[in-house]
Chain A
Amino acid sequence: MSSQSTTPPTSLTSPKAPAIPPEGVAGGTPVVGLASEAVNDPVLTTKNLSVWYGTSLALKEISIDIPKHEITALIGPSGCGKSTLLRCFNRMNDLIPGARMEGTIRFEDTNLTDPTLDPVALRRRIGMVFQKPNPFPKSIYQNVAWGARINGYKGDMDELVERSLRRAALWDEVKNKLNRPGLDLSGGQQQRLCIARTLAVEPEVILMDEPCSALDPISTAKVEDLMDELKQDYTIVIVTHNMQQARRTSDMTACLMLDEAAGLGGQRIGVIAEFSPTERLFTNPRDSRTEAYITGRIG
């Protein structure tokens, strides 16, 4: 499928954020050598974000803006910190002892790098889908309802479960077996169940950490279609190793790289090589490392 049509998204909130500018020309005036794109109406604004694990720097001075109601892909070679960056947005790195952030990530009027920020409230609003489908060992219904319930959902739970499963394009496959264990579903269905579970808490942003890497091509296509559908209402950030997937699904792409100077000293520090509209990044990359990566010469 192709989310990359030639018509830009007609979202009212971002009339000037065309996903695909004409070939070779940025939406605005491209400055040669500037590898990061300014984005209209960003949901998440990341400025000079650095992440440490203990004393070792993992991400250095990341500045990217995540556009609203679009899909942003994070690509790059293994170990360059794509997932680390993704997990900054919902503070999942807090689970790793010694992880520390510097710089700012603005989400509305809060700064996500503020150590006093309570991640519990944040994580309902910025949901996450993981690499390996990880449904709860409970019924399909409970998988969807649990997150809403623990967040004090006041509406009709049956209705919410149905709506979430419908949005995740899973309803027709499971509507007659809502009390069956979620783990009885196939891998692709499990991943859509995990998406439904995330949708049920009504987030604004959905983070996806290689959501299709454990799925077969048919299931992958279903998830990609779903992403295309969901971006009308949600902002999606996806980490993927699959460059075709990034190209098929995303509007903006950030290519992360390992810092070469630090690499000589044996350190693995991720930096942003380029952040551009997807079509341009893949057809006319401005950064030589990006070009080398997308053409398969490195990574």
Chain B
Amino acid sequence: MNSSENFAPRLQSRRISGIVFGAACFLATLTGVFFLLILLGSVIVAATSRYTADGSPKPSISISQLPGEVSRLTTKFSSSQAPRAGFKAGIVGSLWLLVLVLLLAIPVGVGAAVYLEEFASPGRIRDLIQLNISNLAGVPSIVYGLLGLSLFVRAFGFKSIGLGETLWAGGLTLSLLVLPVVVIATREALRSVPPSLRQAALALGATKWQVVRDHVLPSAVPGVLTGTILAVSRAIGETAPLLMVGAAGAIFRLPKGPSSLYTALPVEIYNYAKLPNQSFRSIAAGGILILLAMLLTMNSVAIVIRNRYRVPSR
């Protein structure tokens, strides 16, 4: 019996709707790339524009002047005169913050995630903690700034134990900010370690700690580092919490240690950008390019780590 009369295949229109859907998704993909290119283009134009003292445009700088411009922006402290202004203090301050956040947030965040994922018995308390951590990840960064101000900078009014407006206060505040993200990323990485690996180790008479130390954590390292570095690189771009915890606007000394006063790159960019003089706009744009370069470098490091340590899955 021929059953084809029971079907209306409409092959043509099915095929076309597939193409249309694919094209729509492709356009959606382009949106992100498109706006990133627009952003980069406008920032580069802004960074290379030059103005006379009264604010009228001059010809923008030429390619041959670029290396000089870059070295000026990276080696000069901030200044009220545009041609002498740079981001040296901010770059060094941001690198300090980066190191502090990595040192503070990774051990605590990974520890919390390992506890929740490997040791805590499932139940209401674990679910509650988990919910709280997910919610913390959604708290606006300015709120962390306020927390850092009252907790770390001022110690709730106990001046003698407050950290003041130092790198410690900034680093601790940013660490709190990224901590939930580190916990979540680490838990994801731990969860992707196959249960068969844990079972194999436990069946040999290993304790939980031996399993975690020798198998689960090593297998999770790529995921943990990738997630963590991405989280930290976001934190380095944060401005609002650092404004709250007192990253200085203009500072002319490099920090000597984590107890020094400091400023950070995004804070300096913000300060230059609000000045009325047109010339500082291009300084700010230059700072943005430096910041982007830092962030992209960190993201590439994350990608390299992920590829290098990828465990063969078979």
Q: Which applies to chain B's interface (DSSP): helix, strand, loop or mixed? A: helix
Which A-chain residue is minimally distant from B123 (CB atoms)? Answer: A97
Q: Does A194 contact B (CB under 8 A)?
A: yes
Report whether B312 and A201 are in contact in the complex, using a CB–CB cutoff of 8 Å: no
A132 in the interface (beta carbon within 8 A): yes
9 additional contacts, CB 8 Å, given A128-B203, A147-B201, A150-B206?
A97-B121, A127-B203, A130-B199, A134-B194, A134-B200, A137-B311, A151-B204, A183-B314, A194-B200
Q: Nearest chain-B residue to A123 (Cβ)?
A: B205
CB of A107 within 8 Å of the partner chain: no
B312-A183 in contact (CB<8A): yes
Taking a contact as CB atoms under 8 Å apart, the answer to whether B215 and A136 are in contact is yes
A293 at the interface (CB under 8 A from B): no
- Is the Cβ of B215 less than 8 Å from the Cβ of A147? no
> Which A residues are CB-close (under 8 A) to B202?
92, 95, 123
- The reply on B233 being an interface residue by CB < 8 A is no
**With an 8 A cutoff between CB atoms, is B214 at the interface?**
yes
Which residues on the B side are within 8 Å of A201 (C-beta)? 204-205
Nearest CB of B to A133, in Å: 9
Given A137-B219, A183-B312, the answer on whether A150 and B204 have CB atoms closer than 8 Å is yes
Pull 13 A–B residue pairs with CB atoms less than 8 Å apart, ordered by A: A120-B205, A120-B207, A123-B202, A130-B203, A134-B197, A134-B200, A147-B205, A150-B206, A151-B205, A183-B314, A197-B200, A197-B204, A198-B204
Closest Cβ–Cβ distance, residue A81 to chain B (whole Å): 18
Q: Is the CB of A127 within 8 A of B200?
A: no
CB distance from A55 to the nearest CB of B (A): 17
A95 partner residues in chain B, CB cutoff 8 A? 199, 202
Contact A124 B314 (CB under 8 A): no
Q: Are A97 and B122 in contact (CB under 8 A)?
A: yes
Q: Determine if A120 and B206 form an interchain contact, defined as CB atoms under 8 angstroms apart.
A: yes
Chain A 87-126, CB-CB to B under 8 Å as 1, else 0, gives: 0001010010100000000000000000000001111110
Ranked 10 nearest A-B pairs via Cβ: A124-B205, A147-B204, A128-B203, A134-B196, A123-B205, A134-B200, A150-B210, A137-B311, A150-B206, A183-B314
Is A146 part of the binding interface, using a Cβ–Cβ cutoff of 8 Å? yes
Within 8 A of A (CB), among B108-157: 121-122
Identity of the chain A residue whose Cβ is nearest the Cβ of B200 in the assembled complex: A134
Inter-chain contacts of A183 with B (CB < 8 A): 312, 314
- Hey, which bits of chain A sit against chain B, CB under 8 A? 90, 92, 95, 97, 120-125, 127-128, 130, 132, 134-137, 146-147, 150-151, 181, 183, 194, 197-198, 201
Q: Residues of A contacting B197 with CB < 8 Å?
A: 134, 136-137
CB atoms of A147 and B196 under 8 A apart: no
- Report which residue of A90, A97, A136 has the largest number of chain B beta carbons within 10 angstroms of its beta carbon: A136
Tell me the bound Cα distance from A147 to B215 in angstroms.
12
Q: Contact at A132–B196, with CB atoms within 8 Å?
A: yes
The listed residue (A90, A122, A136, A150) touching B200 by CB distance below 8 A is A136
Complex Cα spacing A136 to B198, Å: 9
Q: When chains A and B are docked, how far (Å) is the Cα of A134 from the Cα of B214?
A: 15
Please determine whether B311 and A90 come into contact, CB atoms closer than 8 angstroms.
no
**Residues B169-223 near A (CB distance < 8 A):** 194, 196-197, 199-207, 210, 214-215, 218-219
CB of B281, distance to nearest CB on chain A (Å): 52
Task: Return chain B residues, CB-CB under 8 Å to A135.
Answer: 200
CB distance from A21 to the nearest CB of B (A): 34
For A121, the chain B residues whose CB sits under 8 A away are 205
**What residues of chain B lie closer than 8 Å to A150, measured between beta carbons?**
204-207, 210, 214
